Amino acid sequence: MAWDEWEQIKADVAVKGPAHMQLNQTPSEAGASAGAASGDLKSNRKTWVKAGEGVTGLKSGVGKALTKLADGQAGLGDTTGSLSAAAQKELYDSWKKYVSDVGARCQALGGLLQGAGHDLSKTDKEAEAELEKLKLKYADTEPVGGQAKEK
């Protein structure tokens, strides 16, 4: 937005007063204080629960991927004396943990979404705190290449 447009908007607000917010084509109520409940906002409990079930359901696909990963690793045997086999084992262990964490994260996030559908009385701060806990618990690894190791 150009600076002169911004200045024009500010001038219009100064002359006409602040604009009232309108959500979903519903006219704003004059004099309503910020954050006041009007009773018009509705949330569908079923939708939250269904979203939670969908995210939780992702865990099953992740579990199948983990099984395929394990099947592909089967028969590697002893990695002593083979740098490439040792590297493959290290990579497998790393991905096994990562994919397991993804499954657990899906389960936890799905549970939060389902809980939001059952308990719509939580505040935004409480919901954000729950999500922050998940973010900390399942923090992703460093970008491409991870951490360098000493040889």
For the chain, domain boundaries: 45-137
Residues in a beta bridge with 23: 26
Mean pLDDT of 105-116: 87
pLDDT at residue 74 is higher than 60: yes
The per-residue pLDDT for 41 is 58
Cα(first)–Cα(last) distance of the chain, in Å?
54
Reported as a single tens digit per residue, the pLDDT across 113-139 is 888 777 666 777 887 888 888 888 877
Residue 29 to residue 35: CA distance in whole angstroms: 12
Backbone angles phi, psi at 65, to 5 degrees: -65, -40
Residue 84's CB is within 10 A of a number of other CB atoms, namely 8
Predicted pLDDT at 35: 47
Three-state DSSP at 147 gives: coil
- For residues 51 and 6, the model is more confident at 51
pLDDT at res. 19: 62
User: How far is 116 from 49, CA to CA, in rounded Å?
Assistant: 8
Q: Is the pLDDT of residue 34 over 50?
A: no
Which two three-digit tokens encode residue 79? 């990695």
**Average pLDDT in the chain:** 76
Which band of pLDDT confidence, cut at 50, 70 and 90, is reported for residue 82? confident
Burial class for 46, CB neighbours closer than 10 Å (0-12, 13-18, 19+): exposed
- Both structure tokens of 62: 């992740």
Count CA atoms within 13 Å of residue 133 on its CB side.
9
DSSP 3-state percent helix, strand, coil across the chain (nearest 5): 60, 0, 35
